[in-house]
């Protein structure tokens, strides 16, 4: 009677670990979800990087777009052109 009980105990132990253990099916599903989220984040970051590469390419080399350069310089420096009309809006 003792050997079948020991065998069933060992079988239960390995079966439980196969489902709930550190490398079991539940842990694998969690890791798959994390991987899908990481791939989604990577895709978003890659699209953002591509946008920045396009903008930087437009600012560099002999074909600098003066309007884009002026727009970026004003945005970074928080300045306006003396020829621009600036209207102060009342705060809410």
35-52 confidence digits (pLDDT tens):
999 999 999 999 999 999
Predicted structure pTM score: 0.51
Q: How far apart are CA 66 and CA 81, in angstroms?
A: 14
69 contact partners, CB below 8 Å, separation of at least 6: 59
| pLDDT above 80 (res 18) | yes
Radius of gyration for the chain, computed over Cα atoms and rounded to the nearest angstrom: 31
Q: What is the pLDDT of residues 69-85, one digit of tens each?
A: 788 888 898 888 788 78
């Amino acid at each position: 009677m003792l050997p079948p009980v020991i065998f069933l105990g060992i079988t239960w132990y390995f079966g439980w670990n196969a489902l709930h253990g550190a490398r079991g099916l539940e842990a694998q599903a969690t890791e798959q979800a994390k991987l899908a989220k990481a791939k989604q984040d990577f895709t978003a970051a890659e699209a953002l990087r591509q946008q920045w590469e396009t903008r930087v390419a437009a600012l560099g080399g002999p074909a600098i777009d003066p309007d884009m350069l002026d727009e970026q310089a004003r945005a970074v420096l928080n300045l306006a052109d003396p020829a621009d009309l600036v209207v102060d809006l009342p705060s809410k």
